[in-house]
Amino acid sequence: MTEMSFLDHLQELRKRLIISLIALFIGMAAAWPLTPTVQRFIQRPLQQPSITQKWQYDLSIWLTRAFPQVGRYLGLAPEPPQVTPHKLNYMAPLEPFFVQMKISLVTGLGLAFPVILYQLWLFLAPALYPQEKRYVYFFLPFGTVAFILGVLFFFYLVWPLIISFSLAYESDLLFSMLNLSQYVNFCLRLMLLFGLIFELPLLFLVLARAGLVTTDFLIRQRRLAILLSAMIAAFHADVVTMTVVAVPIYAMYEVSILLIRLLGEGRPSPTSSQAAPIPVTEAGSDYPPEA
């Protein structure tokens, strides 16, 4: 562990921030040609059958094949879900350009995330003991994979559910006119949130290895974790989004407890291995041996 003054910490922080910003700029430039593809991927739930329709169709197919009598009793006649394509609208002249800028920024952040995570590790490394610095080989890949898993979980499960719930209100009296900026901003904000949610086990593991938290402490704070999960999710207005945000947050809290139990907790004391031996007196003597 290296001792650093306050000014040294500020200089180190500035250095890590500058490198992170350069990596973000490079990632943004590399992501610019990919923005049309990313935007089509974001709009995919608007061009495909809703995920609930797919689930209902798959369930009815399974019931009619596995239990034909039940299918006939329920009158199931599985039909492929109908597709009702939707388009986004924009009202400002340069709105699509600024939306493309936002998409390239967030996509560039994803590309530069391993570099940013490594800079964060280098900033924290002086506060670690030599035997703890080797955890960088676990910190970087686990943090990157966790962020990617959070993004994939959002795009393949959460986002289709939200859009399906929103479009379910369409009827003869209601039709959707989804705005481009609002749609993309909402998606990108939730995407980053889920990427960070899946980083919670890594954060708690680092705190546990530093001796700041224990599994017993986390178990005692489960009610508080549920409350904080609900409070974070409460920033979203609809019940569906609140639920799909709160449940993964608390699930990652439980994963953190399991991960800490598997990998151990607490930092070893630097003086524990160098403890002075207990003097042993000779038999029949009331005094310790001379130094």
The predicted-structure confidence for 192-243, as pLDDT tens digits, reads as follows 999 999 989 988 887 887 778 888 899 999 999 999 998 888 877 677 788 8
CA 61/CA 78 separation, integer angstroms: 6
Q: Which of 43, 25, 29, 210 is nearest to 128 (CA)?
A: 210
CA 40/CA 47 separation, integer angstroms: 9
**Count of CB atoms within 10 A of residue 19's CB?**
15
Q: Which of 229, 236, 233 is nearest to 253 (CA)?
A: 229
Q: Please give the average pLDDT of every successive group of 10 residues along the chain, which has 291 residues.
A: 71 91 95 92 85 73 74 69 82 91 93 88 74 71 89 90 83 85 92 91 82 87 91 78 88 91 64 43 45 42
The 3-class secondary structure across 147-197, one letter per residue, is: HHHHHHHHHHHHHHHHHHHHHCCCCCCCCCCCEHHHHHHHHHHHHHHHHHH
> Contact at 8 Å (CB) between 82 and 57?
no
**What is the model's pTM?**
0.76
Query: Which two tokens mark 69?
Result: 């009598």
